[in-house]
Amino acid sequence: MTDLARATSLLTIDVDAVVANWRRIATLIAPAEAAAVVKADCYGLGVVQIAPALFAAGCRSFFVANLDEGIQLRKIVPGGVIYVLSGPVGGGEQDFAAHGLIPVLNSLAQITGWSAFAKAGSAAPASAIHLDTGMTRLGLEEVEVERLAAKPDVLASVRPILAMSHLACADDDTAPKNNEQLATFRRLSSQLPAMPLSLSASGGIFLGRAFRFDMARPGAALYGLNPIPGRPNPMAQVVRLQGKILQVRDVDSPMTVGYGATHRVAQRGKIATVAVGYADGWLRSLSNRGHGVIGGFKVPLVGRVSMDLTTFDVADVPAPLVHPGALIDLISPELTVDEVASEAGTIGYEILTALGRRHHRRWLTGTREGKPA
Ligand SMILES: *Cc1c(COP(=O)(O)O)cnc(C)c1O
C-alpha cells in the first residue's frame, strides 16, 4: 500500500503557486525589492521545500522570527540575506555572527548590545533597525530615535542596512492609521542616516506606491491569503486539505451526533465521519459552523469537531460519491483558507500555522511531487 492510500488526510502545498505569488509581488513593486517572510516554517507550509524555490526564483532577502529559525534557514538558503525579527535575545550575538544572520534591533538595549559586540572586534553582520510607528509592540519610539541619532558613533558601529516598521491596519485601506504610520515612518527615518527603508507586509503593498519604499516584506500573500480582504484575491491558492471518510452512517431522528450531543438529527439522512480533527488544526470553533466540499457539493459540518474526527451531513450528496475512503475537501481553491478562517472566527494566518503535523504532506513543483526532506 502506498503512503497516499494509507493516509487519513492529505495536505497538498503548491510550491509553484508560492513562487508565482512572490513573482507577482516582485513585479508589482519593482524597483522596490520583494523579500519573503518565511517565519514559522513558512506559516506552517514547509520552509525546507519553499525557501529554496523562492531563492531560485530570485528572492534574496528572507525574514524569520527567531534565531533558531535563522540558523535553520541559513542551511537551506546559504546565499540568502536573512533577517531575524526578534533580534538577539539573552546574549545571542555570537550565534548571529556565526551564522551570518542580520538582527532586527528593536530597542536601544539591543542596539547597545549589538554595538558593544561589534566594537569588541567580532566580525558582526550588519543590522536592521525597527522603528515603532504605531504598532506598540517592538521598535524605537520617537524619543529613542532622537537619542540614537545623537550618538552617531553607536549608530555607525551597528552598520544599519535597513530601517523598518510595521503597519497595524494594512488590511483595511480606509483606516486613517495607515497614513499616520506612513507619515511617522518618514519623520523617524529621516532622523537617521540615509539607508534602505521597509514599511509594508502583504497588506501594505496594496495600499499604493507610497507604502513600498525600498523593500516590502510579504508573508501571508505568498501563501495565498487575500491581502485585500473584501476584494477579489489577487493571489494564487497554495493549500489543499483533504480528509478521508472513515464511515458513512444512516441516521434519523432522534439520534444525536458527536460530543455533547450538540447536533440533533431532524430527519432521515447520512453522516460522513472524516479523519481530521482539532489535533490536525481543524479548529474546534468550526463545530456546527464549518463545511466541506465533496464532488462539488457543499456539505455542512455538524456536531463538534473532536481531536481526530469531524462529521458532515452528506444527505444531499449522490451516494456513489460518499463512501469510506472517499476524500472530502476541507481547504481547496473553492473553499479557501480565508473562508474557513471566517467560519472558524479567526484569520487565515491562524488556520495555516495550525495545520497539523499528522497530515500526509506533499509539495507540488512543476510535475514533480516533493517528498518531506
Ligand atoms: C510576520 C511579519 C511580516 C509578514 O506579514 P504578512 O502580513 O504575513 O505579510 C512582515 N513584517 C513583520 C515585522 C512581521 O512580523
Output the CA 365–ligand 1 centroid distance in Å: 25
Note the pLDDT of residue 123: 83
d(CA 179, CA 60): 29
| Ligand 1 geometric centre to CA of 166 (Å) | 8
Q: Determine the distance separating the centroid of ligand 1 and the alpha carbon of 164, expressed in angstroms.
A: 11
CA of 134 to the centre of ligand 1 (A): 15
**351 close to ligand 1 (CB < 6 Angstrom):** no
Q: Does ligand 1 have an atom closer than 6 angstroms to the CB of 130?
A: no
User: Average pLDDT over the chain, rounded to whole?
Assistant: 96
pLDDT tens for 75-121 read: 999 999 999 999 999 889 999 999 999 999 999 999 999 999 999 98
- Residue 259 bears catalytic tag: yes
What is the per-residue pLDDT for 189?
98
> Percent of the chain scored above 90 by pLDDT?
94
Q: pLDDT digit string (tens) for 53-85?
A: 999 999 999 999 999 999 999 999 999 999 999
pLDDT of residue 2: 67
> Is any ligand 1 atom within 6 A of the Cβ of residue 37?
yes
Confidence of residue 3 (pLDDT cuts 50, 70, 90): confident
Catalytic residue of the set 151, 177, 259, 298: 259
Q: Is the pLDDT of residue 373 over 50?
A: no
166 lines ligand 1 (CB under 6 A): yes
pTM reported for the whole predicted model:
0.96
pLDDT reported for residue 347: 98
Q: Is the CB of residue 219 below 6 angstroms from any atom belonging to ligand 1?
A: yes
The catalytic residue among 39, 43, 278, 349 is 39
**R_g (Cα) of the chain, nearest Å:** 24
Over residues 274-293, the pLDDT tens digits come to: 999 999 999 999 999 999 99
Tell me, in angstroms, the distance from the centre of ligand 1 to residue 167's CA. 9
The whole-number average pLDDT for the span 291-310 is 97
Q: Choose one of 22, 33, 37 to mutate for the ligand 1 pocket test, by most ligand atoms within 8 angstroms of C-beta.
A: 37
Whole-angstrom distance, CA of residue 303 vs CA of residue 357: 24
Check if 218 has its Cβ closer than 6 Å to any atom of ligand 1. yes
